[in-house]
Structure 1
């Protein structure tokens, strides 16, 4: 039920369901990942952003006035454990998930070593008993039959362990990518960089998460005033002085979505502001994000003309991206194009005008 609410873009209801489920599944890393996703979706939907302002227009003519409302945080009904959805809560949930997953992997490794040791001891015993003589015909048949059943069971267990390993790898990639994102939002670039580097060091990491690792690492390094290292992460996708290759193909994107556990995400409309839009970037949109980041990097180094060309490319691929638009505004201002900057600024304002429903009483 929580997963369905999350897919429908209702993070508060989803979080209530996940919180109730956590009583049983508190040792499962996935439940903490889902709670963190609820926090990030609430952020993207504006539920955590106190700076968003709603303006009611009341009155007519010279008596027309603006009545301002501020949106605050929304509490979870009946919540005693989580309180309010927030980015610090998301970070705590992701930390729990990473700890539990690492603990599970460590126990799994110990179990595999003990199993290998046990098999070796059994083989030694069988070889020793074989030296003392041959068993009768009925005993041989029983051993052969038992050995066949054992092979089938072992094969099934190996296949199951393989599926579990792939699932755990996907969960770890998601946990680290989301941690890097949350730390960036909380303005902790050092921790964001650590999470992004950990993501990039994972074996068999998917191309989509490798892209996110490079992107988040570059953004963290920019905040740390290390532009050369940030450029190195972005240059991994450069095919020329001013062009990027696709970070991943549509086939990789489709395969990744098929492997994720949220099978109902296709029901979401991309215009609703899904909290995981950064993860669900299509290949061309991901390329646009690279152009936007390189434009920001060039702008901070004072190369405004080059940055202008890059941000123009970016906006053709991701025209509704607020961060890219803000970067374009900054570049236009630095180039003296104040009117262009003002036009763009109106596209990403956080003020929404709603029909007046408030009554103004005379004082």
Structure 2
């Protein structure tokens, strides 16, 4: 027990390598299943998984959590094979806690389908955990779209721009792709929202549950002002629980609420409910505190919903780059510094793209150009795109869709020679003759 306590202290300090060193120094003969129904072996593998998850190594974390599950199953099976067991050993299995940990690690490892299978098991026991419902929704979203980095890979998109070249010389015709994006298309069918599969419909249900179960940010539940003598007041409803995950600070609750709102806006957009997406985005922007990345997404989702609702002027107002000052993950202000520092130390490194402010601003300006193009202001859109392209730095990545938009605008303006030169420049030279 001393080894485990020392390991936990170093973990809370953020000294993960020292924590692993202490943990691996436990003699093998000490890793046993004791008479109280607790397994040191299960604890060892689980702690190793938590440490590697905190170090940003989710695949190794999955390996250790799977080992812990195997050990837990082995000891549980041994107990069940016995004719009788002591009462205090009943319920000694840590299956659901371990499945929860494995699901979180799989989600960070970019394996949303497997993560969903684990977390859907964990939610049967921890159905009042708001954060768990949020994680299930994240699995569904990641199945729909793994990442947006590919949308900024101009070199790769160049290869996909030209579908076919017909003819040769003066009679040559170039067939461009109709869609550079590889996003999965939403198919309207009779899928039930209640079916536990990693779909966007189920994600919306998970997000509603998560929203309803957010822990209270008040210090204590309200106390009735008047009590009638002889009448027992009704018992308050059970408060939402975050077990088996760690408790949240006030700032943590605010961040969870913001995460639920931004995910709800994205899912509503994907499902074609633009009014609901706009409501979620506005609700997020009305929150007293939010991180820089949440503010960026709230403006982008609100603008997209407004464009799809044919409210272009309002959309452009949301796309002003001045609205986004940073891409921070933490809430502004001092807040609960101790809780924030502890959270940062014991969480895996965040993955976010675009990862610099210049790229985020380029995305917003590109979307302004799209809105202006829809409105027919082609000259203004072209000028803005040219400005974004010229002002980008070496580290600034811009959406690959910019090239296709510029080509479209030049064709609409009747500048076919410019469009042809752009196609030659941003596609395989050998596929198009001079």
* TM-score by shorter chain over 0.5: yes
Deviations 1:304-362 (A, max 9, x none): 12212333455657656355455445434423444367569979xxxxxxxxxxxxxxx
Extract unaligned runs of 5+ from structure 2: 1-101, 148-183, 187-193, 227-246, 333-339, 429-434
Whole-angstrom distance in 1 between the partners of 2:331 and 2:219: 32
Contact 2:129 2:213 in 1 (8 A): yes
Name the structure 2 match of 1:98.
211
Within-5 A mapping of 1:340-355:
none
Q: Name the CA distance, whole Å, in 1 between partners of 2:293 and 2:185.
A: 34
Cα distance in 2 for residues equivalent to 1:343 and 1:217: 36
Task: Give the structure 1 partner of residue 287 of structure 2.
Answer: 202
Kept after mapping to 2: 8 A contact 1:231/1:297: yes
Q: CA, structure 1 residues 191+324, in 2 after alignment: closer, same or farther (shift >3 Å)? A: farther
Check conservation: 2:123, 2:132, Cα contact below 8 A.
Answer: yes
CA distance in 1 between counterparts of 2:410 and 2:121 reads 50
1:294 to 357, 365, 368: 368
Distance 1:14 1:110, change over 3 A: same
Q: Deviations for 1:79-136, whole angstroms, at most 9, x for unmatched residues?
A: xx854322112112111111222xx43xx64934339x89xxxxxxxxxxxxxxxxxx
* CA offsets 1:144-188 (integer angstroms, 9 cap, x no match): xxxxxxxxxxxxxxxxxx953211111110110111111112222
TM-score (norm 2): 0.49
CA contact (8 A) 2:302 2:318 kept: yes
Shift of residue 212, structure 1, vs aligned partner: 1.7
Q: Output the CA distance in 2 between the equivalents of 1:340 and 1:24.
A: 61
Decide whether the 8 Å contact of 2:290 with 2:331 is kept in 1: no
Cα RMSD (Å)? 3.7
CA distance in 1, matches of 2:297, 2:359: 13
Superposition pairs for residues 125-140 of structure 1, below 5 Å? Answer: none
Establish whether residue 304 from structure 1 lines up as the match of residue 378 from structure 2. yes
CA change 1:334–1:196 in 2 (3 A) is: same
8 Å contact 1:208–1:253 — kept in the other structure?
Answer: yes
Q: What corresponds to 2:223 in structure 1?
A: 114
- In 1, are the aligned partners of 2:291 and 2:331 still within 8 Å (CA)? no
Q: Where do 5+ consecutive residues of structure 1 fail to align?
A: 47-70, 74-80, 119-161, 239-244, 269-275, 348-363
Which residue of the partner structure matches residue 39 of structure 1? 140
Cα distance in structure 1, aligned partners of 2:127 and 2:424? 49
Secondary structure at the aligned position of 2:272 is classed as coil
**Pair 182,326 (structure 1): closer, same or farther in 2 beyond 3 Å:** farther
State how far apart, in whole Å, the 1-side matches of 2:273 and 2:185 are: 23
CA distance in 2, matches of 1:299, 1:262: 46
1:233/1:82 CA distance change after superposition, 3 Å: same
Matches within 5 A, 1:163-178: 164-178=249-263
Partner of 2:409: 331
In the aligned structure 2, how far is the partner of 1:72 from the partner of 1:196?
22
Distance 2:420 2:409 in 1: 12
| Whole-angstrom CA distance in 2 between matches of 1:187 and 1:341 | 34
**Aligned match for 1:284, one of 348, 358, 381:** 358
C-alpha distance in structure 1 between counterparts of 2:107 and 2:345, whole Å: 12
Q: Where does 1:62-73 land on structure 2 (aligned, <5 Å)? A: none
Q: Which has the higher helix share?
A: 1
Runs (4+) of structure 1 exceeding 6 A deviation are 254-258, 343-347
Distance change (3 Å), C-alpha of 1:218 and 1:72: closer
Which of 264, 278, 286 is the equivalent residue of 1:193? 278
How many aligned positions are there?
249
Q: 1:214 to 1:261 in 2, by over 3 A?
A: farther
Flag the structure with more relative contact order, 1 or 2, with Cα contacts below 8 A and sequence separation at least 6.
1
Q: Distance in 2 between matches of 1:181 and 1:332?
A: 32
Output the CA distance in 2 between the equivalents of 1:94 and 1:313. 39
1:84: which partner in 2? 197
